Amino acid sequence: MNKDSRIFVAGHRGMVGSAIVRQLEALGHQNIITRTSSEVDLMNQSAVNAFFQEEQPEYVFLAAAKVGGIHANNVFRADFLYNNLMIEANVIKAAHDLKVKKLLFLGSSCIYPKFAEQPLKEESLLTGALEPTNEPYAIAKIAGIKLCEAYWDQFGDQFISAMPTNLYGPNDNYDLQTSHVLPALLRKFHQAKIDGDTTVECWGSGSPLREFLHVDDLAEACVFLMKAYNEKQFVNVGTGTDLSIKALAEMIQDVVGFEGSIVWNTDKPDGTPRKLMDVSKINQLGWRHQIDLRNGIEQVYQDFLQLELS
């Protein structure tokens, strides 16, 4: 991938896509192609084909997806399955037809079985039943991985996949119904502090374990893999360290400076008990995360305060 290569970042307005664009720009790439969904509807194969014909991208980062936290995944089940299947099938097929040199597809750690051995090794895919709250999303992401592998097998297309752990960072979703836990808790603790509330409600029991990666680290890993990785097997991307949701909540409470207490609403689902990535493969390839969780949360809290002011 040269500085003047034609690089399409699908999903450039989302948290992951925007981080990949920032990373490519920082590295001096000058031919980054982006389209909003109103300009090119990625759920429409002929629109995607026409766009690929016109722009002839050489490299594709496939970060466009319908995403959300545990509640959104569990409620909008058809949308999470259908939209993601359509987007990935259309983009991957067009990339094949237009002879894209390399494509990187982004999956998610929820592809692994609910009770897979921890830490999650790449080889654990399809060894057991999925977590029910995000089964539709996971099935769509597994289909995307398999589509890349099938194009690799049948045609020799260099279509690779990265599996990030739970992410956070700039351009995250702060809507309390559809967001992931980290932005939700930042917002809840901040609001409670401003309103002088004595309690904040968090979902579930607080006992599930999760791993969190700053999206700027993920973007660096994606560009690293695009340049250096040429194997069919997908690659986990994470920090290799997890913590309980309770410990996360206490860390966010401390960063925000909320002095009240936490109430756990066990009517809300816990989801997967644990999903810690085994990151030995990407570490051995030469990539390691840089941003420590506490510093990352402090950074995003500052971004959140700027958004509140604007």
The contact set with ligand GFB (CB under 6 A) reads: 69-71, 73, 108, 110, 133-134, 137, 166, 179-181, 184-185, 202-204, 208, 210, 245, 268-272
Using DSSP, state whether 203 is helix, strand or coil: strand
Residues 6+ apart with CB under 8 A from 129: 113, 114, 115
Nearer Cβ to ligand GFB (41/197): 197
CA distance 48 to 58: 15
* Stretch (H or E) spanning 33: strand 32-33
CB of 38 to ligand GFB, least distance (A): 26
CA distance 59 to 233: 19
CB of 144 to ligand GFB, least distance (A): 13
CB of 153 to ligand GFB, least distance (A): 26
DSSP-assigned letters across all residues of 162-178: EEE-EEE-TT----TTT
- Please, are residues 255 and 298 in contact by the beta-carbon 8 Å criterion? yes
CB of 248 to ligand GFB, least distance (A): 8
CA distance 105 to 268: 31
CB of 90 to ligand GFB, least distance (A): 21
Triad 212, 214, 220: Cα angle to 5°: 125
Nearer Cβ to ligand GFB (191/233): 191
**Residue with the CB atom nearest ligand GFB in the bound state:** 69
Nearer Cβ to ligand GFB (125/184): 184
137 a catalytic residue: yes
Nearer Cβ to ligand GFB (48/106): 106
Q: What is the DSSP letter of 132?
A: G
CA distance 219 to 15: 10
Residues 6+ apart with CB under 8 A from 84: 65, 66, 137, 140, 141, 144
| Active-site annotation holder among 59, 112, 137, 229 | 137
Q: What is the DSSP letter of 122?
A: G
Nearer Cβ to ligand GFB (1/139): 139
Q: Which residues are catalytic?
A: 137
